[in-house]
Structures are given as C-alpha cells and as structure tokens.
Structure 1
Amino acid sequence: MADNKDAYIVALEKKLMEISGIEVEQIRKNQIANAASEASAIKEMADYVANITIQSAGTAKAGVVDPQIAAIFQHLNSELGESRGSHALPPLKYEHAGLEPHINATIMEIHHTKHHQGYINNLIAAVKKLEEAETAKDTSAINALLPAIKFNGGGHLNHTIFWTNMAPNAGGEPTGPISEAISRDFGSFQAFKDKFSTASAGVKGSGWGWLGYCPKGDKVAVATCQNQDGLQVTHGLVPLLGIDVWEHAYYLQYKNLRPAYVAAFFNVINWENVNERFATARKAAGH
C-alpha cells in the first residue's frame, strides 16, 4: 500500500515537471515563497473592510453595482441556506481526528475552528458595511467591498463544501452516476485522478483544485481557483469535489510536499456526498 502511494507521488511529481518545466524541488520552494499565511490574509482583509469609508447619503455618486456581489450571496444561499449576513460555522459530521492518519486532528481543528471562523467573521463585517453603503447609496463603497466579499464569502463557501467532501473510512473509487460521468468525460477514474491531482498540486501559491459540473454541457470537468475564488463565479461550474491546497491545509503534516497531501486526499473523499451534489446539480440544470 505504502509502496503504491510513494510510486504514485513520484509519478505525479514527474507529470508536474513535464507540464510546468520546473523541477519539483523548485515547485516546493515556490509554494513556500508564494503561499501567504492564511491567518495574515484573513487579518489583512479585516483591515481592508474596516478602512473603507462610506460617503453620507445624498453626496455619494450613482453607479452600477458589480453583479458578482449578488452572485456570491446567491451561491452561499443555495449551498448553505444562509441569507445575507446570517453566516455561521457549520459543525463537522465527524471528529477532528476522524480523517487520521491522512489528515491529522491538529490540522482539522485549527483549519475548521480558527481559519474558517475567520472568514465568517470577516464576511459578517463586510455585510454590515455593505448595508451602510447601500443605505447611503454609495456605489463606490459597495463595489470596493467586492474583494472582501469574494475572498471571505468564497472562503466560507469553499470550506463548507470541503468538510462535506470528506469522511472517515472513505476514499477509493466512486460508484454510481458520478463514476459513470468520470469515465465518460475523462476516459477512466485513473485518468481523472491524474488530471485532478496534477492540477491541484500545481496551483501556484494558494488556491483550490475542483471537480465541477458544467450545466450547459452536462459534463464534469477539472478546474483550479486562486486564493478563495468561488468555482461558479470563476468558471461557471457547480462545485462537486474540492481540495484546499493552501499550505495551512497540509503543512503541519506534509511540510512542503503538496503532491503527497493530494495523494492522501483520495483516501478520505466522500463519494456519496459527491454523488448527491452531482444529482442536485443535474436536476437544477434540467437533466
């Protein structure tokens, strides 16, 4: 089992080098150099929201509100059933140690209760300032809040999906409709695994790897997003399966060996959850 995993990691690293033209050791160094500390990023975004100044009602200039703001809250409501401003940390359906040995309890506890909560706190603060800006009809301030809403709203949404995408005693190959879709659109499960792993391990700096559903084509596809950008807002794909490749998600256990973490992730994938998401997405698209 261990030999097979090590061999897969070596093959994945070789594929990364072929695609990027960069030695794997340099990719590892780049991950450390480019991946900002999530705690620092959350703090910087909190400061950003606090420093936005709203003009008084009657003095603000009229303008067009960026439609991404409404889209982000729509996706949050669709996924979580949360109205704007009523955001809360979702409880895990397993213990923090439930994913061991693949993802240890310390990572899960910090990741869930500290980092995810940080995104929620910032999102609520951004919503409060958004309401002030809307009351004042200050379009400039409303649009200035987009980066904070996108970053923190995306962080809340992405992490919520991530927790449900994993489960104890899970992993292996999928069955059911998602298995059929993967075989149809990638050729085989192994081909999907290779593409998903290479894309996720190769994200420059911080971000996410995704398996998403395309409503127009009724197909599944692999995509990546930077930072906390949402998959639907960025690529128009409905998120089915996501892996967080910010360093906080794996560094305490895997150091800078992101490919090893990505390989381990396949041992905790909750394919039942992915199948449920796939069925819901297809139904919503009329398929």
Structure 2
Amino acid sequence: MKTIKSITVIHSASRNYKEALDLCIGSAKSEDVVIKNVLPVNEKDIDKVIGKKESDLILVIGGDGTMIRTIANLIDHEIPLLGINIGRLGFLTDLNVDSISKVLPEVFSGNYQSEDRPSLNIQVDDSESLIGINEVVFHSGTVAKMLNFSIYQEDILISKHKSDGVIVSSATGSSGYFFSGGGPIIYPTEEVFAILPMFSQSSSSNPLILPNKKKLKIKLKNSVKASIVVDGREDFEVYQGSEIIISKNESSYSLIHPHGYDYFEACRTKLSWGQPLINLDD
C-alpha cells in the first residue's frame, strides 16, 4: 500500500485527547511524516481550512461521533481516515491509546488495509441536501405517537405504514441505531439501503434491504408534525405532504485499518454479536 508522508489530525472537542495527540505527533515525527493540521472537529469551516487531497491520511481522535462528523465534513476531500478511540464503544475507530506507538509507524510505512464505504444523501422537499454516514431516522418526535407514511423506490410504492417512524441506514450504520432496533448487521462496503420500521402497527413490518442505485422517497400522509434526524445530529421538522428523498451520495469515503483488521471480530467484541451464552470451547 501507499506510504503515508503527511497527515492531518482531527480531535474531539469535548474529550481529553491530549495523550493520544502527543503519541500521534511523536509517531509522525519519528517516521518523518509531515503534520499538516491539528484541528478540533468543531473547527469553523473545517472543509475550507483543509485542502482537497492536502494530506495522505486524516487521523481522527475521539469516538464514533467525532469520526462520523469528520467523515461528513470532509467526504469530498478524497483523504482516507483512521480512527483512534478515546470514547466508549468506538466501532469506527480501530486504534486505542495504548496501540498508537506500535501501530501508527506500521501504517505510515504502508502496512495497512483500505476500504471504500458508501454514504447517504438526504433532501427534504426543496431544502439543501445533507450527508448521512450511518442513518436517517424519520419519527413522530413524541413517544407512542404514530405516523401514517408511505415509502417508494423512485415512484414505485414499496409499502404503507402506521408506525412511530422508520430508520433508513447505510451498510455502515447497520451496526448502530439500526442494529439496536432489531435490524441485521450488513457488511459495511455493501451498496444498499436498509429500511426498518419503528414500532409498527403491523406484525409483518420486517426490515427490508434494497440496492442503493435507485432513490427512496418517504411521504408523510397525516397532518401531524414529524422530524428527521441524520446521524443523531441534524434534526428537522417535516409536515403533511413533505417528501424525504434518500439517495446514494456521489462521494464515498475510505477508511484505513491496521494490518490484520477483522470486521467480524469487531462485531463480536464491541457488539457481542454471535457470542454464545455458554463457552462452546469447553
């Protein structure tokens, strides 16, 4: 793989990142890797501060939230990312503080794996489109208050629902909120939309996985106010007759993983997925 000659470091604005940052800087200097920028994730106009293809790698110090926000902000810059976890779960962040000094020099020398992942483009009526890395959630905004809505692929009706809402996830997002709602885990490079109705009145509203080549459209039918939330951050109100258009974003993003990275091990260790209740090795 390509050797890394320059990096940008993006760090959490709320967590204690200093130790991890010092270790990253030390590793970079020891390998003669140029540090182009060190910025908090909430830096104003961060997409303008960092130039397109300016660095060979973006190191992201934080949790999954910091990683998702950085990807969304810089997805058009065509720079791969590697996450360093100082949060809790850290499903998108491969390294921890203790492994930085050992693993980063290997990554800088080109000993790593790389993968491209798709993202979502979300537009409500004629508003400016948003980028979703994990999911978009369409919901009533009130506990136990149901919505009437329909889901279309382009202009073809898929289903009509009366439920608390629906989650539309990327493959990457299938291990997040979508998974918590009972959806399946999908390998993160798959080009799909994963659809999961929330607390449906129907007993047959199961998850649905579709290729992401065609747009999805959600139409709110009843006269109540509803909301959409993108990646747990962007929250918008929608009204009767509103249309939410979800499409494949033209830009994908690249994640770098240390050599030997195993997605299924991450599922087992971080989500307890597939773990038996008893030790089957005995």
Q: Which has the higher strand share?
A: 2
Asked if these proteins are the same fold (TM beyond 0.5), I'd say no
**Into which bin does the TM-score normalised by the smaller protein fall?**
under 0.3
Q: Whose helix fraction is larger, Structure 1's or Structure 2's? A: 1
Higher relative contact order (CA 8 A, sep 6+): 1
